[in-house]
Structure 1
């Protein structure tokens, strides 16, 4: 069981509370009654509750009905052998420790058991029961740590999701306020011809407000030592930066209705490369951008999409590789705009379904593509490629 790989493991609060409760319940599966009885007697003297099963089939029935905290299993049993039991338990409950207690002397069996997820291997006959006691105690302690880590991660993800939602809501309110103020100012500038000055001030203030949010996230991240939490703050900060830079470019532009997206993209992708330390590796950047001007209502969701896809590539595409190539493009094709983000990294997992992904970043991308009334294509031929087409 890889202690750091807990993706896809979810448990509710009652299950965590149940695991922390005493005493722990242990299921021993062995076709020899004498061995089962001796293990039960010893473990009960150590303060554990013990369940017995005489074969693999019965063992799985007891496991599914009683949900023990730890499983001891022999490899050689009738009906269903120990390796099949181990595979089923690990698949159905990855955080339940399984210790193989077997008399087999075949090295291949021990290796296969560990490959299938066994937490430890104790050889029969057990000359010293303290060996079993130590293995059980160590496995239960490790399982408890994993349960707590999963619980902490889930609580952290919920908190980050809530905070990110608040940021998006705040941005929505800011945009709504901006549009209302633009309408009010338009009525004034009909006679005063001050429309440009007033709109520039709006973008300047929105940019400043978003910059304040970004600075607060940065200051808070300086006090965080947990790498997962720090990564979440960095991701949130880059999302805010993507929106702030749109307003900064509009503030600097002569045309206050549209943004020069070529200049924006060059600046923003460079910022992401610096933020995620691409300079520590040889990551070649290929930018192919037409002279495209996007209205603010298209520029902000487009920028958030680019942030999520480029960030994901810089973090995960190349693993520990020292070099790679990242390509970002945005071209105008008649009434449509085509955006792509491609890398030559290790690609997505074969079973990855971006339409059903539960990650916050991919959910944001899917929702923003829908907001743009666009369509997205994902391919994994020689890396990963996201291509999005929309009209603005």
Structure 2
């Protein structure tokens, strides 16, 4: 009868490996695994004697005993308790020696998951249990065949048994049915070539002809499931004689997810590298824009004599412009794709900084309606500078003689065009302002930046206040 729970003793000195195995076994709901641990061989022997676990998981690198010596001692004192070797070293000789001494299985750290580890434990227990029953009956041939069947059927990896000469499949285990989607009757009597693509038949046949007796490592190749999907597999082939036949046992390791994850990671790294290079070039360009702004400010200052207060004001204006550009990069680095900016978040941060920079009180309120507006960097930087200039101008001039007021920024998207409206309810522009040419640095900068994003600038005098509207095409 199938057990609902298993007691497992892990003899392992590594805390990290213990936690990993504990996590894997904790994921199994049926059967449940009750895991205990000893961190050295001596305490492990005592635990086996006291608790009589169903299965022992034994690390080969223990501080107080060599792994194979530990295995020998356990099998000598407790021959009826199954032992699975759990090691980080892939050593064929040690593996063979461990199995000859009496280990039920040999699993490699880092190469198993929750499913394969639990199946290995079940297999070890069931194989050992049936072996004891068969031993009691003293039926040598039946015992050997049953051992093989348990090894074959309970193997967590897909396994195919086929004739070496005809390539006809004799038997498949349950893992094949689960992994490939076939029924047993679909494969028995068919050639092993059924699980490969036709263009690979000749290559596979040639490879099978080259097998030697014993263990053969086969290179990675793509298998075909019943539904046509692909499975990337590593195979281990055992060629042997049985009842005057030459048979091949193919044990399959599915590495599809591992390979595709690796490809995905490499592709992602390549994309990130390209984006970072692009950002590097844009940062250089933005630094040049900053230099140009400082030159414009310097030229503007040279045309007239400035008081200390006026000079301080110019420096604060320059500070706000530099901050508006650096804020774009701050939002960019928070973005997942490193190429687009959440402009609503950007505007909130920008206005918060301008309120602090110019010492604006709570009497001047702000309203931003730009949810969902995602802009690429080439658009976000000039549009951010435009917003900075217009809001700064309103804070400095529109509310100079007014105790209360508000600034509103609205964004609308329609027919592949974006409209950004920035308006205030301040004292408004002087009469006749719209009919004149203006050479102020702020307005020049707004006009230049509007052209840079292929937009149109409209200015409307309200009663009270002023409205600036920038309309430009949406770009990827």
TM-score normalised to structure 2 length: 0.37
Larger Rg: 2
With CA pairs under 8 Å and 6+ residues apart, which has the higher RCO, 1 or 2?
Answer: 1
TM-score normalised to structure 1 length: 0.45
